[in-house]
Chain A
């Protein structure tokens, strides 16, 4: 029996997959991108971060924007887990596996970038050993690590359910037992993830000498803490739907029903509406209270094209108000509006993370300093693309060999 025949025995029960040759070509393309990024990573480790486009003005750049964005978009995992296992929206069982894998990819990818981004990667453990309890970043370090562990625990039973692995009685039972305790981990995951999503927002909100990002406190937290949580849990489900839709397009197979995707978008849209109300209030308070206190005006927050007002209006209107309408009205029944709404919501959160990371640093606070422009270079792009390629590889392998979509067989019956 040839290898390609054997490989067919690894597929989940009753599904069809493309030929092995085609799949290998797909992996090869992704592998080239990943290898190029790996090369850039080695260059960064060997020569130092001087090979990047970062400088003393922009200590944070593409990498941190990328991290914040993928972590927000990966939030589908914890929030969907909470809805599925704790609030018991049973229908979500048809998409929960995808959200877990997406979460794992996003968080492990972010960890990979973070290990590159610190100047002394072998000292990263200092975050646990010498923690500063006042630093939001300490909380992020602890929560992201713990939550990645939770995601691994959630991902393992999926791997154990692979057809051949599942034939081993011990691993079959282990997978079953892990499923039994999964609500516990869903709860822990939701708790950890909520806090670090908030802490990522808090990281910016506590920079009291940077009026672009600084926000006042609600109890001990700056209110960016809550805005980041809300924006993450609203766009996370939308991102899951987009990934699912993309996979359906690429594979040519139905993976979940439109009803499930529509439900996810409805959940995302509802959270987006709540986020929108608070974000508008936040913006109003920022313009009328925080900026005047710092002696600054709204107009001084924008400069040129890369820091232009268009970003502000795109984020707050086109990528917030418009997707709320698309996702929460009967328009959602039409795929065009549903997918457009999801894309706009996700784009909005990326813009939000970009302006908080880069524009907040570019905006001159000292009256005699000027706006500075930051542009990431090849090393930052290549490593970021490496993480995207890594995500595609994990997702491709998972789709091909693991039973991710319970509805796939039924939906594709000829």
Chain B
């Protein structure tokens, strides 16, 4: 609908098989620990708690015995045409050359929250208070991810630091860091998903599993008609689940 899409030689993407997802929340927990998301003061307030990866519960709205539910994990959709990037007044968020991942530069963010307003997927979280770790728990902090101060917007980065580590490992092994093998770089949520519902890789690389997965007739993306052109794909063999990926008029 708006803006221009940039193309990247490497396009990291995620494929989430909704029919395999059990809604266990392991992806949410692993994301929180990997990315130093502070323990929530009041996790009952879902509009205030920070969760870069959230699992939504979908329902077909029918009563028993036709009732059916599905779980939809939602990381940042890493839009090809991100609604958040063009609006940021200080270029704190950008669709740069790094595998098509939408970056978020915390030291530059002024906390105006315009990106929060622009994103329809609710992937952006604001630091409402200073982050505080209960005594002793600060030892669990990951040295690979920065801790955000209050007053800035944060979001899923596809565990970008892991890509850096994977490239370093490839260089050390004498391999091409720009042509990583499938599985050499995966996000923490993908690594810890017990049911194998999540897959990650270069969407453009035929050697990566996700390259094939997105060609599935059951694959779709969220809000496709808005033109955000996301790099996260979902798979479901259930039609009602696929239909919940976008808004449809009764006539459609």
> Interface of A with B (CB < 8 Å)?
47-50, 54-60, 117-120, 123-124, 126-127, 129-132, 134-138, 140-141, 203, 206-211, 214, 217, 292-297, 360-361, 365-369, 372
Q: Are A293 and B124 touching (Cβ within 8 A)?
A: no
With A130-B91, A209-B120, A210-B120 known to touch, is A49 a contact of B151 (CB < 8 Å)? Answer: yes
Distance between Cα atoms of A338 and B72 in the complex (Å): 56
Partner of B110, one of A118, A203, A217: A118
Known contacts: A60-B117, A366-B120. The answer to whether A296 contacts B247 by CB under 8 A is yes
- Which one of A47, A59, A129 has the highest number of Cβ atoms from chain B below 10 Å of its Cβ? A59
Size class of the B contact interface (CB-based, 8 Å): 35 or more
A-B contact pairs, 26 of them (CB 8 A): A47-B129, A48-B127, A49-B128, A49-B151, A50-B48, A55-B45, A55-B47, A56-B122, A118-B112, A119-B109, A123-B108, A126-B108, A127-B110, A131-B91, A134-B86, A209-B83, A209-B118, A210-B120, A217-B2, A295-B247, A295-B249, A365-B226, A366-B120, A368-B56, A368-B58, A368-B244
Contacts A49-B111, A50-B48, A54-B113 supplied; 10 other A-B pairs, CB < 8 Å: A49-B128, A127-B89, A130-B92, A137-B88, A137-B112, A209-B223, A296-B247, A366-B121, A366-B222, A368-B56
Candidates B111, B129, B225; contact of A293 at CB < 8 Å: B225
Do residues A120 and B86 form an inter-chain contact, with CB atoms below 8 A? no
Question: A130 CA to B107 CA in the complex, in Å?
Answer: 12
Q: Which residues of A contact B124 (CB under 8 A)?
A: 56
Question: Does B90 belong to the interface (CB within 8 Å)?
Answer: yes
Is B1's CB under 8 angstroms from A214's CB? yes
**Chain A CB within 8 A of B227 CB:** yes
**Closest approach, in angstroms, between the C-beta of A28 and any C-beta of chain B?**
35
User: A40 to nearest B CB, angstroms?
Assistant: 16
Contacts of B232 in A (CB 8 A): none
Contacts of B89 in A (CB 8 A): 127, 131-132, 135, 137-138, 140-141
Judging by beta carbons under 8 Å apart, are A120 and B152 in contact? yes
Contacts of A206 in B (CB 8 A): 2, 86-87
Shortest CB distance B200–A (Å): 22
CB B217 to nearest CB in A, in angstroms, measures: 21
Residues from chain A with Cβ under 8 Å of B252 in the complex: 295
Contact of A207 among B88, B113, B118, B247 (CB under 8 A): B118
A207 touches B83 (CB 8 A): yes
CB–CB B111/A208 < 8 A: no
Residue of B nearest to A49 (CB): B128
CB distance from A70 to the nearest CB of B (A): 18
Determine if B1 and A369 form an interchain contact, defined as CB atoms under 8 angstroms apart. Answer: no
0/1 string, B192-216, CB within 8 A of A gives 1: 0000000000000000000000000
Specify the chain A residue showing the minimal Cβ separation from B116: A59
Closest to B224 in A: A295
- Assess whether B159 is interfacial by the CB under 8 Å rule: no
B129 contacts across to A, CB distance below 8 A: 47-48, 50
Q: Are A207 and B87 in contact (CB under 8 A)?
A: yes
Residue of B nearest to A361 (CB): B117
* CB-based A-B contact count at 8 angstroms: 172
Docked CA distance A368–B56 (Å): 8
State whether the Cβ of B64 lies closer than 8 Å to any Cβ in chain A: no
Q: Are B120 and A367 in touch, CB under 8 angstroms?
A: no
Q: Are A365 and B223 in contact (CB under 8 A)?
A: yes
Minimum distance in angstroms from B228 CB to a CB of chain A: 6
Residues of A contacting B169 in the complex (Cβ-Cβ under 8 angstroms): none
Tell me, rounded to whole Å, the shortest Cβ–Cβ distance linking B176 to chain A: 34
Q: Which residue of B lies closest to A60 (CB)?
A: B117
Interchain nearest-CB distance for A314 vs B (Å): 24
Bound state CA distance, A351 and B112, in angstroms? 22
User: Pick the contact of A208 from B48, B83, B110 — CB < 8 Å?
Assistant: B83
Q: Please name the residue on chain B nearest to A119 by beta carbon.
A: B111
B112 x A117 contact (CB < 8 A): yes
Q: Which residues of B contact A129 (CB under 8 A)?
A: 90
The answer to whether B117 and A208 have CB atoms under 8 Å apart is no
CA distance A59 to B119 in the complex (A): 11
* CB of B126 closer than 8 Å to a CB of A: yes
Query: In the bound complex, how far is the Cα of B118 from the Cα of A203, in angstroms?
Result: 10
Nearest-neighbor residue (CB-CB) of B115 within chain A: A59
> Which residue of chain A lies nearest to B112 when distances are taken between CB atoms in the complex?
A118
* Contact indicator A297/B126 (Cβ below 8 Å): no
Top 7 nearest A-B pairs by Cβ distance?
Answer: A119-B111, A119-B151, A59-B113, A295-B247, A50-B128, A59-B116, A208-B2
B50 (CB) vs chain A CBs: closest residue = A56
Q: A55-B48, A368-B72 are in contact. Are A130 and B90 (CB under 8 A)?
A: yes
A residues within 8 A CB of B244? Answer: 367-368
What residues of B have a CB within 8 angstroms of the CB of A207 in the complex?
A: 83, 87, 117-118
Interface centre among B48, B128, B153 (most CB of A within 10 A): B128
Asked if B246 is an interface residue, CB under 8 A from chain A, the answer is: yes
Cβ B117 vs Cβ A210 within 8 A: yes
Complex partner residue of A135 from B86, B120, B153, CB under 8 angstroms: B86
Distance to closest chain A CB from B37 (angstroms)? 13
Task: Name the residue of chain A whose CB is nearest to the CB of B72.
Answer: A368
In the complex, chain B residues whose CB is within 8 Å of the CB of A57: 47, 122
Are B152 and A56 in contact, with the CB atoms below 8 A?
no
Which residue on chain B has the smallest CB distance to residue A292? Answer: B249
Are B222 and A295 in contact, with the CB atoms below 8 A?
no
**A119 touching B150 in the complex, CB below 8 Å, given contacts A141-B89, A207-B83, A366-B222:** yes
Known: A48-B151, A60-B117, A295-B248. A130 touches B87 (CB 8 A): no
Residue B125 at the A interface, CB < 8 A?
Answer: yes
